[in-house]
Structure 1
Amino acid sequence: MKTNISGKLEDAPVNIKIKLAGLWTSVTLCYLYGDYFELYTPGKVHGLVEGTNLLDTPLKLFFAALLLSIPAVMVFLSLVLKPGINRILNISVGIFFTAIMVLIGVTSVSRWYGFYVFLAAVESIITLLIVWYSWKWKRIHS
C-alpha cells in the first residue's frame, strides 16, 4: 500500500449550525477560564470566604448564573433551532455578550487583570464571529 503524503487533505464544509455551536462552546470555556484564573488574584479567595466579593447576595449570584447559562445553552440551541430564529437569536445574543465583554475588558485594566482583559478581547472576537456567521447565513434561493 502506497501512501501519498504530498497530496491535499480533504476540507469538508462545516455546517453553519456546527460552527455556531463550536463558537459558543469556545466562548463558554473562556468565561470559565477567566473566572478560574481570577481566583489567583490577590484578595479574591479572602473575599469569597468573607462574602465581600462582587456576587455577595443570593440575588446577584442567581443573576450571574442566569446570565452565564445563556452561552452554554446557545451551544445546544444553535444545533436544534430552525434557521430563521437561530439566526436572529445568535445575532442578538452575540451582540449582547460582545457588549458585556467589551465593558468588562475596559473596566478590568489593571496590573493583575491583564489576563481578564485578554480573555475579554478573545471573547469579544468570538461573539463577533457568531454575529458575523449568523448575519452571513446562506439563503436558499428557490
Structure 2
Amino acid sequence: MLFEGKVIEYVCDYLTKENFEILQKLSTTEQGDDIIALKSGVKLIIEAKGESSSNQNSSRYGKSFTYNQVKTHVGVALYKVSEILTREINNGNDVVVGISLPCNEYHKKCVKRISEVIKLLNIVVFWVNEDGSVDVEGDLI
C-alpha cells in the first residue's frame, strides 16, 4: 500500500539519483508544494497522491481508494499543478511541474483519460511502484 508519504519519499530518492537537489519535501500533514527540486537552474514542483488514506482514524485507512476517489484525487492534483504553473509563470520563473501517483489500474485509467491535457501542459507524471521504483512520463529538465 503506497501512502502519500511513501510516494513522496520514493520520488525524492529517484530525483536525488538523477542529480536533483531536493529543496522541499513535505510530510502528509504539511500544506504546500509536496516536492520542490532543482537541477540546472530549473525548478521542478510536484504534487503527490497516495493510494489510501494515511490517516489512521479514517475509515479508508489501509484500503485502496475507489475509482471515483482516485478520479477526484487526480483532478485535485491537476488543479494544484495548474495553480503552481500560473503562480510561477506570473512570477517570471522557469518551472516544470509534475504529479506523482501510485502505479495502479485506477490511477493509470484516470490519467489516460486526460493524457492530452497533461501533454499540452507539459506535466511530468511520476509513476511510483510498490518496490520504490519510479517510471517517468514526460520531459524532465
- Tell me the TM-score normalised to structure 2 length: 0.34
Higher relative contact order (CA 8 A, sep 6+): 1
More strand as a share of residues: 2
Tell me the TM-score normalised to structure 1 length: 0.33
Query: Which has the greater radius of gyration?
Result: 1
Structure with more of its chain in helix, by fraction: 1
